[in-house]
Amino acid sequence: MSDSRPLPLGEIPRWDAEHEVVVVGQGVAGGAAAIEAARAGADTVVLERMTRGGGATSLSTGITYFGAGTEIQRACGFEDSVEDMEDFVALAAGEQADPERIRLYCEGSLDHFQWFRDLGVEYKATFIEEKTTHPFTDDCLTYSGNEEAWPHSARARPVPRGHKPAREGEAGGYLMEAVLRGTLEAGASVVNECRAERLVVDGTRVVGVAARREREPFLVKASRGVVLATGGFVFNDEMLAKHAPHLIQCNYKVGTAGDDGSGINMGVAAGGEAINMSEGLVLNAYYPPASHLKGVLVDGQGQRFVNEDSYLGRTSDAILTKADGCAYLVVDDEIHGRTQAFHKLAAVEGSFEELEKALDLPTGSLVRTMTYYNEGAARGEDPLFHKAAKYLKPLVEPPFGALDCSTDASFFGVFTLGGLSVRATGEVLDAGGEPVPGLFAAGRCTAGLCREGRSYASGLSIGDGSFFGRLAGRAAARSEPWS
């Protein structure tokens, strides 16, 4: 691993560039921070490791979590309020979430949405009826988490809040184009192919960044502050093993190669604390097609363990923790379709008895699970997990298939949800809760809005990064200058 220890000011020969605010990383968090720092009047530069900014957001659907009654929500016939949004976001953010962050996020949501529109991001006033993880059209509004799924549905009034930009396919690139354009328009400068390696400190105060630009040292002074927006650490296997070992079994890392924990390590080495490091979002998508939500997910004991209509962050976490990584989605001929993740059919048989045997499940286990499930579904009930009535139907049309949702047989995406401890306004904190002078952070290199994958909703990472990136940029810009 590269050396993340801060470089004392006395050890650097010169500054190659001098700015007030230096933002490290140009994903959505760094982009938002740079825009707001520059708009606040600070001389701002972004150091981006890649040839072009974009980060993990540019690889995503671009869905962002907005609510409290956006114009899109209203046009589609959904009422929402700050309070309703806060009820749900508190569930989604998890038990250890920061109430201050949740409050700020929901109270500021309409403004947050407008911020993106002002950058030129377009959204259509259309609702996506079918439950999906990846809407392929240019339609906008979607239930992007557990809003309609038990037990969340019983605890907060279900409202769709995922907003996809008006572009077909993956729209994250389109969204980031607007952010990159906005960064330059706001007056910030951008240095690409520039890898931040260490922070420069004067005593305990962070005063700059020691980077490498086309392999040459590049020392950048940050008289007001450095904003780390470097992403998570899912691409760093050593860090995963140390902090989130259960995520190692996931076979597809979601993000960019930049998500290697470099910013977290630099921040910790400068005195910051990393928290919530064991948490991550795990993604095994057995839908679309939405008909698969009518399937029955069983573990290696042939038992159910979660309602199949939950957001995939919850079902995937359950596959890992409750089912020990071994799970099958049982479907019948009527609901079977090809999944986006191309799950393999582990077996197709004419009866549950035969399917049970083919999957090597304990004798009688799957049969009794399916008998019980079908009896309930015929009554429109799921006594065990309260799956929504619209996804309940007895599976009675042979042949019966089992899609293999096991960690060793199907696609398990993962990214991390732990990182630097920061105030909602972006100041990086040490273990005693004191700010590290001159250091700010936002996005996936922080422990942010959502603290656990099992309650997550799509759009919370872009939402978190952009919302709190803006605050971090402003906080850095108004920070007392070092001299």
Residues lying near its own copies in the complex (CB under 8 A): 1-5, 95-96, 241-245, 265, 268-269, 271, 273, 275-278, 301-305, 321-322, 362-365, 368, 372, 375, 383-385, 421, 430-433, 451
Nearer to its own copies, 45 or 447 (CB): 447
327-338: b (≥16 Cβ within 10 Å) or e: bbbbbbeebbee
- 121: helix, strand or coil: coil
Q: Which is nearer to its own copies, 73 or 265 (CB)?
A: 265
**For its own copies, the closer CB: 33 or 210:** 210
Nearer to its own copies, 321 or 351 (CB): 321
* Residues 6+ away with beta carbon under 8 Å from 460: 65, 89, 92, 93, 145, 449, 450
Rounded least distance, CB 325 to its own copies, Å: 12
List of long-range contacts for 97-104, beta carbons under 8 Å, 24+ apart: 97/449, 97/450, 97/451, 98/424, 98/449, 100/424, 101/424, 101/448, 101/449, 101/468, 102/449, 104/424, 104/467, 104/471
* CB closer to its own copies, 3 vs 408: 3
- DSSP letter for 304, please: B
**Other CB atoms within 10 A of residue 41 CB:** 11
**CB-wise, 74 or 242, nearer to its own copies?**
242
Minimal distance, residue 272 CB to its own copies, in Å = 11
With H, G, I as helix, E, B as strand and everything else as coil, classify residue 36: helix
By beta-carbon proximity to its own copies, the closer residue of 251 and 301 is 301
Q: How far is the CB of 232 from its own copies (least distance, A)?
A: 16
Is residue 187 left, alpha or beta, with left meaning phi > 0 and alpha meaning psi from -120 to 50?
left
- Going across the sheet that includes 280-283, the strands are 252-253, 413-416, 280-283
CB of 362 to its own copies, least distance (A): 4
In the complex, the smallest distance separating the C-beta of residue 56 from its own copies, rounded to whole angstroms, is 23
Smallest separation (angstroms) from its own copies to the CB of 150: 12
Query: Which residue number, 95 or 214, has a Cβ lying nearer to its own copies?
Result: 95
Q: Which is nearer to its own copies, 114 or 363 (CB)?
A: 363
Q: C-beta of 4: minimal distance to its own copies in Å?
A: 6
Retrieve residue 56's tokens.
């993990």
What is the C-alpha to C-alpha distance for residues 155 and 479, in angstroms, rounded to an integer?
40
Tokens 């490791």, located at residue: 49
Q: Supply the minimum distance, in Å, between the C-beta of residue 66 and its own copies.
A: 27
In the complex, least distance from residue 336 CB atom to its own copies, rounded to whole angstroms: 26
For residue 258, the surrounding DSSP H or E stretch is none
d(CA 477, CA 483): 15
User: How far, CA to CA in Å, does 161 sit from each of 29, 174, 221, 391?
Assistant: 20, 19, 40, 21
The 3 state secondary structure assigned to 212-244 is EECCEEEEEEEEEEEEECCCCCCCCHHHHHHHC
Question: Residue 47: how many CA atoms within 13 Å on its side-chain side?
Answer: 31
The DSSP secondary structure of 122-137, one letter per residue, reads ---S-B--S--SS--S
Nearer of residues 137 and 251 to its own copies, judged by Cβ: 251
Min dist. Cβ of residue 274 to its own copies (A): 9
